[in-house]
Structures are given as C-alpha cells and as structure tokens.
Amino acid sequence: MLAMRSKPYIKTNQTKGMKTTLGIDPGVNGGIAWITGGKSCAEKMPDTLQDLWELLRDIEISSEEYCHAYLEQVHSSPQMGVVSAFTFGNGFGHLEMALTAAGIPFTRVRPQVWQKELGCLTKGDKNISKRKAQELFPSMKVTHATADSLLIATYGTRQH
C-alpha cells in the first residue's frame, strides 16, 4: 500500500459533496489540472509514476461526490523519432492505467474539440492556449506546462 502525502493537494473538508473535474495534457511537457467547486489547481506532469499515482489518488480520495478526468487524446507525430513516439505512447498508457487504478473514470477528448469549445484553436501555438488559460484563471500562475490542462478541465466542467 502506498503512503499518502503528508499534505494532500485538496483538503477533504473543502470539497465534501463537490464534483472534481481533471484536465490532463499528456507528455513530459504537459500537466494535470483539477477544478473542484470553483477552486482550480494545476501542476506540471509528475516526473515519476509514483508521483503520478500519488497525485491522482490524492485528488480522487478528496473528491467525495464525483471525480471525472478529461484526457487529451493525442498521437505521436511524424516529426517524432521512433524512440520519442514510443516514449510518448508509453506515457499515455501510463496515464490511462493510473486513472483506471485510481478509480477515476475518464473521457478522451481531441484537442480540436476542446479548443473549439473554448475559442482558442492553437494550431500548435502553445502561447494561444496560455493566454486563454491566463484569461480564465487570472489569479493563477499559468505556465506552458499547465495551460492546456486547465483548459481541458474547464472544457470538462462544461460537459456536466
């Protein structure tokens, strides 16, 4: 059994009975964001599988009513080398398995779908999504690593 973090990301007493929506931008340069009762949090993608597991379990345990993830459905690109494409696909599979193991149901969403919904078609320009995320979350420090995940979580909250 894994030990819980000493400081969970979301305190149970603040989220009791509230829905939590996760947005996940896969890849080493991606991030994970979650929105619970209007409160938003985001982190760059954890560096290790252990850290990913602990983060997802902390979020799931703190979400007493409902927790659902929206995972950006991406594929390797022709610009990637064989090793990079394998590593990227492997990481995507790790995310799916970690969500499944944590008991968090998830929906795969293509970038074009969530970007169209939020009015920020990027065509690969991360600055567009960063600006949009900063506009929607003015009190947060938005980075390239967390921007898409915040927007994917926002998309997810609009689907309920």
pLDDT of 47-60, one tens digit each? 999 999 999 999 88
| Element (DSSP H or E) covering residue 98 | helix 82-102
| Regions of the chain short of the pLDDT cut 50 | 1-15
Give me the pLDDT at residue 27, please.
Answer: 85
Give me the pLDDT at residue 43, please.
Answer: 96
Give me the pLDDT at residue 64, please.
Answer: 65
Give me the pLDDT at residue 90, please.
Answer: 72
Give me the pLDDT at residue 130, please.
Answer: 96
Give me the pLDDT at residue 38, please.
Answer: 84
- Rg (alpha carbons) of the chain, rounded to whole number: 15
Residue-wise DSSP of 102-136: HT--EEEE-HHHHHHHHT---TT-HHHHHHHHHHH
Give me the pLDDT at residue 86, please.
Answer: 63
Give me the pLDDT at residue 93, please.
Answer: 87
Please tell me whether residue 42 adopts helix, strand or coil conformation.
Answer: strand
- In the chain, the domains with their CATH numbers are 19-158 (3.30.420.10)
Give me the pLDDT at residue 65, please.
Answer: 75
Nearest one of 87, 72, 104 to 28, comparing CA atoms: 87
Give me the pLDDT at residue 129, please.
Answer: 94
* Residue 96: Cβ within 10 Å count: 16
Give 76-90 pLDDT, tens digit per residue: 667 777 777 667 677
